[in-house]
Every structure is written in structure tokens, then in C-alpha cells.
Amino acid sequence: MIERDDLRAAIGSGLLSEKQAAALVSLADSRRGARENLTAGDEPFELFKGFNEIFIVIGLMILGFGWFGVASLVLGDRIVDVTRYAMMIAAIGGVLLWLLSEYFIRKRRMVAPAIALSVMFAGNAAFGFMSGMMQPFMVAQNDYSSVPLPLFLATLTLAAYWWRFRVPFAMAMIAVGLFAVAIVFTASRGGRVESFSDLFLLSAGGPFAFITLALGLVVFGIAMVFDMSDPHRVTRRSANGFWLHVVAAPALVNTVALTLLDSDTALADVILLGFLAFFALIAIVIDRRSFLIAAIGYIVALAATMMDGDGAALTVLILGIVLLSLGAFWERIRARILCLMPGIVPLHRLPPSLM
């Protein structure tokens, strides 16, 4: 263990500068909390550091409801001026949320308040741009041409928020926002959604399923860029990758799995199992349990809603056995699989095997 006295000695001897020592201390502090007691090979995951963070999140929620109530009173019956007033309220709310983020995120480095503030900032930005630029009468007539631009601007504003505060959860919301922009933009350009499943069925004939699949691949690729830049999972880049994998896995699985479940044939069930095995292989190689659990969790939800009771129960039972087996022997299985990987796989940029 390197103590603070060791760092002072390193600075005094010229081995480290004060800036380098401060950065090292900041990195060590950021890894404390839920990461400090992780066993070797475990996947870092942290939602809050203590109950004080939950206390602050509750306060932020109450503050948000209060602000919404005051905004409603200010708007009142001003239907004509609703756009101007709504954008003004959103601008004031955005400034207040930014200042709160400066304190709780950059200064206090709190985890749960960072997530809460990110959600509130995203909702506030969406409210402001949608109120100011969306045409509700056009939307009521199934004309969504006025929706993509404000939705994209809200996502872009959230991206600026992430750039300043680097909240990993905000990265996941950016991915979801871009997904929504792509779907709504396609719908406004002539794509028709006859049913919700058309968004994900490759057999539906529309572009929505392919958009979902393409965006899932893009989000997965960005997640891997973050992961491969931090193979030992010690910086915030790894947390960004974590949340992006949580978004990418359902997007990829839902498109293919829903299409296979809809076909209702024995061959489709075999292909689905093979597809899940391929997902498990990817998750093991990149050492991301979050990627696999998000994928399988979505499969369980689809099976419960689309399959008959006996088929769904059997599917859930098999997936539960698979998950427990992988959880118990993850490192052993991963070590053997990595030994079989071809040379083109950049293993040096992935988490090392501990077996």
C-alpha cells in the first residue's frame, strides 16, 4: 500500500510532480467504495457510496417535483405563451441543475446524485426543446416531422453535460436518445409502425428493425472502445463501457430474438439458443457480465410475454441454470476460452485472465 507520506517523499525527491501525485490520489479515491472490496476478476459496479447519497437523491427528487409545481403555476392558462415560458423555465432549471452538478459531481464526487442529476438534466432539456419546437397538433395527426430536431438537440445538450461531468449513466441516456431520434426521424419520413413489434421484427418489412440492429452494433462498438482503453477497469472509462453494454445488449438481442420467437418453429428455437451461446461467448471474452445479463434478462421478458406458459417456464429454467453456472465458474471458463482465441483477437487490450 502506498501511503500519503510515500507520495510526499516522491514529490520531494522529484520522482513525481505535485500534479501527478494529486491525479494519483484522485484516482485512488475514485476507486474506493463499491470497488474497494471487489474480488479479483469481478466487474466494477457502483450506484451509491452511502446512505447520505440516497438522502441527497431524495432531496433532489423533492426539489424537482417542487420546481415542476412552481413551473405549472407560472404557465397557468397561458396557452399562447406556453412556448416562451416553457423554454425560459427549462433554461433556468438547466442552469440550476448545472450548478448543483458542479457541487455534487465535480466537487463531492458523489455517484447516486450524479445519476439523479443526469436524469433530471436530460428530462429538463427534453422538456425545453420539445415545448419550444414540437408541434403538438401535427403529432396528433401522426405527423412527427417536428419531433426529431428538438429530440436531437436535447440529446446533444446531454452530450455536452457528459463532456463536462463525465457521468457514465449519462452516456447510456445519450445512446437511448439517439435511438429515439433515429426511430422518430424514420417514422416522420414515411416509415409506418403498424404495431410495436414492427420496431424489432426483421420480417416486418420496415426499416425500424434494421435501425435497431445497426444502432445496437454502433453502441456496442463504442462500449468496446471505452473498455479496450481501460482493460484493468480502474477508471471512469470502464464505467462508461458498462452502461453502454447495458443499452447495446437489449437492442441487439431484441431484434433477433423477437424475430425468432415470432416464427414459432423448432428451428427458430435452436437458432435462438445458438444466438444466446454466441452472446455468452462474447460476454466471456470481453469479461462483461453486464452485457450478458442484459441480453438474457431481455430474453426472459420476451419469452414470458410471447411464449406459452410451458415453453416460457422451460426457457427461463434453462437460462437460470446457465447464468448460475457461468457465475460460479466464470474465471475458469474464461481462462479456457481465451486460450482458444486466435491471434487476431487483441487480448492485450482486454481484462487479463486470472487463472
pLDDT in tens, 87-129: 788 888 899 999 999 999 988 888 889 999 999 999 999 988 8
Answer yes or no: is 304 within a domain. Answer: yes
Domain termination site, one of 142, 163, 184: 163
Domain boundary among the residues 125, 144, 163 is at 163
- Same domain, residue pair 264 and 336: yes
How many angstroms separate the first and last alpha carbons of the chain? 24
From residue 181, alpha-carbon distances to 125, 155, 204, 288 in Å are 14, 9, 20, 28
- The residue segments making up the domain with residue 217 are 192-355
Return the sign of the alpha-carbon dihedral for residues 25, 222, 176, 90: positive
Q: d(Cα 205, Cα 210) in Å, to the nearest integer?
A: 10
Looking at the structure, tell me whether residues 243 and 120 fall in a common domain.
no
Residue 324: exposed, middle, or buried by beta-carbon count in 10 A (0-12, 13-18, 19+)?
A: exposed
Residues 119 and 236 in one domain: no
Placement of cell 419546437 in the chain: 133
Burial grade of 30 (CB within 10 A; 0-12, 13-18, 19 or more): middle
Q: Are residues 274 and 134 in the same domain?
A: no
Q: Which amino acid is at 332?
A: R
Task: Provide the b/e sequence for 35-65 (b: ≥16 CB within 10 Å).
Answer: beeeeebebeebebeeeebeebbeebeeebe
Which of 182, 177, 191, 170 lies closest to 213 in space, CA to CA? 182
Query: Is residue 222 in some structural domain?
Result: yes
User: Tell me, what's the pLDDT at 179?
Assistant: 87
Is 40 part of a structural domain of the chain?
Answer: no
Q: What is the mean pLDDT of residues 275-281?
A: 84
Asked whether residue 181 is assigned to any structural domain, the reply reads no
Residues 246-271 have a mean pLDDT of: 75
173-178 average pLDDT score: 92
Q: Are residues 353 and 210 in the same domain?
A: yes
Who's near 162: CB < 8 A, 6+ residues apart?
118, 170, 171, 174
- Distance, CA of 75 to CA of 90 (rounded, Å): 12
Query: What per-residue confidence (pLDDT) applies to 38?
Result: 52
Task: Specify if 184 maps to a domain.
Answer: no
Classify residue 175: in a domain, yes or no. Answer: no
pLDDT at 43: 63
Mean pLDDT of the chain: 78
159 and 196 belong to one structural domain: no
198 falls within a domain: yes
Q: Using an 8 Å Cβ cutoff, are 53 and 113 in contact?
A: yes
Q: What is the C-alpha separation between 167 and 110, in angstroms, rounded?
A: 10
Reported as a single tens digit per residue, the pLDDT across 132-158 is 777 766 666 666 677 888 899 999 999
Are 252 and 267 spatial neighbours (Cβ–Cβ below 8 Å)? Answer: no
Residue 79 has pLDDT above 70, yes or no: no
Q: Do 275 and 281 contact (CB within 8 A), yes or no?
A: no
Specify whether 198 is located in the same domain as 344: yes
The model's confidence at residue 174, banded by pLDDT at 50, 70 and 90, is very high
Residues 311 and 211 in one domain: yes
Same domain, yes or no: 226 and 128:
no
Does residue 217 sit in the same domain as residue 355?
yes
Burial class from Cβ neighbours inside 10 Å (0-12, 13-18, 19+) for residue 227 reads buried
The domain total for the chain is 2
Say yes or no: 54 and 149 in one domain. yes
Q: How many whole angstroms separate alpha carbon 160 and alpha carbon 121?
A: 11
Shared domain check, 206 and 353: yes
Residue 14 domain-assigned (yes or no): no
Domain limit, last residue, from 117, 142, 163: 163
